[in-house]
Amino acid sequence: MSLPIRNVAIIAHVDHGKTTLVDALLKQSGIFREGEDVPDCVMDSNDLERERGITILSKNTAVKYKDTLINIVDTPGHADFGGEVERVLGMVDGCILIVDANEGPMPQTRFVLKKALEKGLRPIVVVNKIDRPRAEPMVAVDKVLDLFLELGADDDQCEFPYLFASGLSGFAKESLEDESKDMQPLFDAILRHVPPPIGDVSKPLQLQVTTLDYSDFLGRIVIGKIHNGTINMGQPTALLKEDGSVVRGKVTKLLGFEGLKRIEIEQATAGMIVAVAGFADANIGETLACPNEPLALPLIKVDEPTLQMTFCVNDSPFAGKEGKFVTSRQVRDRLLRELETNVALRVEETDSPDRFMVSGRGELHLGILIETMRREGYEFQVSQPQVIFREVNGQPGEPFETLVMDVPDDAVGSVIERLGTRKAEMQNMEAVGNGRTILEFVIPARGLIGFRGDFIRLTRGEGIMNHSFLEYRPFCGDLEMRRNGVLIAFEEGTATFYALKNAEDRGAFFIEPGTKVYKGMIVGEHNRPQDLELNVCKTKALTNHRSATGDELVQLQTPIQMTLERALEYIGSDELLEVTPESIRLRKLLAKKLAKR
C-alpha cells in the first residue's frame, strides 16, 4: 500500500525566503546525512539562480513526515517567471504563501496569490523573517487578509491558517508567544490543511506534463502529476499532443522523488508526482494517457507576453570573433528549443531570415534567456524592448504595472517628479520611519523601460523597487522619455588613456583604456541631449622633451559598468545591444554602414 500524499507549492514575492524555508524543511526531514555539506538555497541548482539569488525555474522535491509523502514545489517569486508558477499550480492541492514580516505583501505576492486563488487553492500563510529588526508579523497578517479580500477570495479561503517562521533560523510556530526550535508546526499544518490529491486509481491513466528535463542517458524526461489511473515501468502509453494527434510509446524509465534525488520505481498511482522517460516529442501541457482510452486533460493556459524585442544575427565589425554559434540557423534553432520548456515565451519569424521577434513577460524574463544563450556560446544582437499593444474594448490598449518603491525620504520628491513624466499614477504613500517612505504607483509598462537607471541615480543606490503586471488599459498617449545623447567611437582601434582623459568633460564612459572599439560603437553617455562622435583611439604625440607634468599621477573617472540588464534598459530605438560570450557592446543601428564609409 502506498503512502498518503500531500502536494504543496511554495509561492511568494521575490526574496521573501521561499527557497531558504524549503532548505529548513529538507534539513529537518532528515534527507541529508549527518555532517553532509549542504549549500544554502539547495533547490537553486541553476548557475544564474545562485549568482542572482533568485529562483528562475520551478523545481520539486519530496520528503516523508509521519508516514506521509509531501511533494514540495519551489516556484519563482518574480512576475517575469509567472509562467513557471502557472504551469505547476495544476499539480498541487495546496500552497504555502510566504510573506516577509517586515515588508508585508508586495506586487508579486498579489500576482502569485491571484493565480493560486483562481485554481481554488486554500493557502497556508507563513509570515517569514520574524526575527529581523522592524518586523511586524501581525500587521503583515492583516495586510494579507486585505489582499485576499481585494482579490475576491471566497469565505473559506479568507479563513486562512497562518504561522510565524524564520527560514534562516529553521523554526516555525503557530503563535508569536509559542516556543519553537524546528519546522514541525509547519509540517503539521501541511498535513492538517492541505487536502490529499483527488484521483481515481481505477480510471484510465492521465498524467499531465508540467516540466521537461533532459538526461544524456534517458533523453527527454517529462515530470508531472498523475491525475487518474496507474503507470507502470515498461507500460505502453499514448502521448496526446496539443494538435490532437496521438503518439504511441512505452515508459522506458519511471522515477519518483525522494529528497533531492530521483529513485527508480516500478509503479506509481493517482496523486503522485513522477518523472517518466521514453517520450522524446512530449511538450508542456500535453497528456500521457492509456492507449485504449486516450482522454486528454485541459491544456495549461498562461498569461500572454507583454514585452518583445528583436533577436538578430551579429553584423558588427567584430562579428564572429568571440562566439561559437553565430549563424541565423543556430540562433533560430536555440530559440525554438527554448519554447519547449519556457511556456511564457513566444518566438515569431520575420520577413528577414536573420531576425526573430521574441516576446516574454518582462525585461528580466528576456534578459535571463539572453544571458543563458551567451553562456552557451551564442553571439547575436538584440533591439530595444518594446511593449506589446492589444485591443481593449475596441480601443488600442497597453500593459500597466503596479510599482512599489522603498526610497529614502530625501529622494521622494525627485522620484515622484520623474514618474510623473512617465504617466505614473500614485496609489499610496506611507512613511515607515527610519528615514524611509513606501511609494505605490500604477504605471504603463512603457514608462518602466529605462527607469531603473534613473531610480538608482535619484536614490543614490539606496532605493528598492518591485513591479508586476496589473492589467491592460487604454493607450495613455506619448511618454516623455528623456535620455542624454551618447558618445560614439569615431574609428576602429583600441581606446587610449590619452584620448579618454581628454574627452572626460564630454560625459561618462562605458569603456576603459585598452578596450577594442569600432566606428559606430557606443562608448559612453554624453552630458548633452545630442549624440557625439569621438576619437577614443587618439595617441599622444611623442617629442624629445620631457613634460613638466609627466610624473604627475593622473587618473580617469571610473567607467560605468554596463551589465546586461542595465544595457537592455539603456539602449534607444536606433541602437542595438551586441551580445557575445565575452562582451556586451552597445552600438548604433547603422554602425555597419558607418564603418564602411
Known binding-site residue numbers for GTP: 15-20, 128-131
In this prediction, residue 544 carries a pLDDT of 60
Mean pLDDT of 145-165: 87
pLDDT at 52 > cutoff 80? no
In this prediction, residue 576 carries a pLDDT of 92
pLDDT at 182 > cutoff 90? no
In this prediction, residue 449 carries a pLDDT of 81
Known binding-site residue numbers: 15-20, 128-131
Query: Of 100, 103, 79, whose CA–CA distance to 405 is shortest?
Result: 103
Q: Which amino acid is at 14?
A: V
207, 239 contact by CB (below 8 A): no
Architecture of domain 390-474: 2-Layer Sandwich (3.30)
In this prediction, residue 56 carries a pLDDT of 47
Total residues found in the chain within this entry: 597
In this prediction, residue 578 carries a pLDDT of 94
Mean pLDDT of 296-300: 83
Helix (H) or strand (E) holding 74: strand 68-74
Q: What is the DSSP annotation of 257-300? A: EEBTEEEE-SEEETT-EEEEES-TT--TT-EEE-SSS--PPPPP
* CA 136 distance to own-chain centroid: 28
pLDDT at 566 > cutoff 70? yes
Question: Average pLDDT of the chain?
Answer: 82
| pLDDT category of residue 510 using cuts at 50, 70 and 90 | very high
117, 147 contact by CB (below 8 A): no
In this prediction, residue 401 carries a pLDDT of 86
Mean pLDDT of 345-361: 90
CA 123/CA 493 separation, integer angstroms: 60
| Cα–Cα distance list, 242 to 23, 245, 283, 305 (Å) | 36, 7, 8, 20
CA 78/CA 312 separation, integer angstroms: 27
In this prediction, residue 545 carries a pLDDT of 58
Which residues are CB-contacts of 549 (< 8 A; sequence separation ≥ 6)?
none
In this structure, what are the phi and psi dihedrals at residue 164, rounded to the nearest 5 degrees? -115, 140
In this prediction, residue 487 carries a pLDDT of 92
C-alpha cell at 307: 514585452
pLDDT in tens, 202-247: 899 999 888 877 777 888 888 888 999 999 999 999 999 888 888 8
pLDDT at 10 > cutoff 90? no
In this prediction, residue 331 carries a pLDDT of 93
Please state the three-class secondary structure of 365-408 as a single string: HHHHHHHHHHHCCECEEEECCEECCEEECCEEEEEEEEEEEEEE
pLDDT exceeding 70 applies to what percent of the chain?
87
Architecture of domain 5-193: 3-Layer(aba) Sandwich (3.40)
In this prediction, residue 25 carries a pLDDT of 79
In this prediction, residue 579 carries a pLDDT of 93
Query: Of 222, 231, 214, 212, whose CA–CA distance to 272 is shortest?
Result: 231
In this prediction, residue 585 carries a pLDDT of 93
In this prediction, residue 327 carries a pLDDT of 93
In this prediction, residue 488 carries a pLDDT of 93
| pLDDT category of residue 36 using cuts at 50, 70 and 90 | very low
Lowest mean pLDDT among 44-58, 218-232, 374-388, 454-468: 44-58
In this prediction, residue 494 carries a pLDDT of 92
What CATH number belongs to 206-289?
Answer: 2.40.30.10
pLDDT at 83 > cutoff 70? no
Mean pLDDT of 74-92: 67
The domain ranges of the chain are 5-193, 206-289, 390-474, 486-577+585-596
| pLDDT category of residue 477 using cuts at 50, 70 and 90 | confident
Of the CATH numbers 3.30.530.20, 3.20.20.80, 3.40.718.10, 2.40.50.250, which one belongs to the domain with range 486-577+585-596?
2.40.50.250
CA 222/CA 211 separation, integer angstroms: 6
Strand partners, 95: 9
CA 504/CA 234 separation, integer angstroms: 70
In this prediction, residue 523 carries a pLDDT of 93
| pLDDT category of residue 82 using cuts at 50, 70 and 90 | low
In this prediction, residue 310 carries a pLDDT of 93
Lowest mean pLDDT among 111-115, 143-147, 507-511, 520-524: 111-115
Strand partners, 401: 443, 469
